[in-house]
């Protein structure tokens, strides 16, 4: 990799590491898993930088790799979970997010939880989320709408007017 490409990757990493890590941290509530998936995804992006840099959405590429990495390692983690100490809370992870919000997010079905954290914490559009997760745009929009409605209900904010979620 030449110096210009190294500088471009370094800037990309600096600008995108935080949102990628936060999305994974909120989605998993497991700091180690979020750190591992983020590091692995950026390491793969570095190795494949020539392809990633020309991708229509390099951050989405990294997020997809990170989510896939986490998903593939999830079964092994699940097997070890019984021996682990109690799951950390939002406050012990230092997220700066209301613990009730995190608890409500964690109660969502996995698909809804993924699209919600990618929208709220990685600041992706539904189209970008669809790309990251390999889902249809309409599927993502539906899951996001249902996730937001469930979150409002869980937090006692009612269902709100239709059409605000898309």
- pLDDT value at residue 164: 43
Q: Span 1-25, mean pLDDT? A: 92
Tens of pLDDT, residue by residue over 44-58, are 999 999 999 999 999
Q: Global pTM?
A: 0.59
Burial of 22 (0-12, 13-18, 19+ CB in 10 A): buried
Among 8-17, 26-35, 152-161, the least confident range: 152-161
Residue 87: exposed, middle, or buried by beta-carbon count in 10 A (0-12, 13-18, 19+)?
Answer: exposed
SS (H, E, C) 111-133: HHHHHHHHHHCCCCCHHHHHHHH
pLDDT for the residue 87: 54
Collect all residues with Cβ–Cβ distance below 8 Å to 41 and sequence separation of at least 6.
20, 62, 63, 65, 66, 69
Domain ranges of the chain: 3-154
Where does 29-161 have alpha helices with state H? 31-47, 49-52, 58-81, 90-93, 99-106, 110-120, 126-133, 137-154
Say whether 46 sits in a helix, a strand or coil: helix
CATH of segment(s) 3-154: 1.20.140.160
| Tokens 């939880």, residue located | 113
């Amino acid at each position: 990799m030449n110096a210009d490409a190294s500088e471009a990757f370094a800037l990309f990493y600096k600008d995108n590491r935080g949102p990628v890590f936060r999305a994974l941290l909120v989605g998993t509530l497991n700091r180690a898993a979020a750190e591992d998936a983020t590091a692995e995804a950026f390491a793969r992006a570095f190795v494949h930088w020539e392809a990633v840099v020309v991708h229509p959405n390099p951050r989405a590429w990294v997020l997809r790799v990170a989510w896939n990495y986490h998903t593939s390692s999830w079964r092994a983690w699940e097997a070890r979970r019984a021996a682990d100490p109690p799951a950390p809370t939002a406050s012990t992870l230092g997220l700066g997010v209301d613990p009730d919000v995190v608890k409500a997010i964690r109660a969502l079905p996995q698909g809804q939880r993924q699209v919600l954290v990618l929208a709220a914490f990685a600041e992706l559009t539904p189209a970008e989320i669809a790309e990251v997760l390999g889902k249809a745009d309409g599927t993502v929009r539906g899951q996001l709408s249902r996730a937001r409605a469930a979150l409002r209900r869980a937090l006692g904010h009612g269902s709100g007017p239709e059409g605000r979620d898309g």
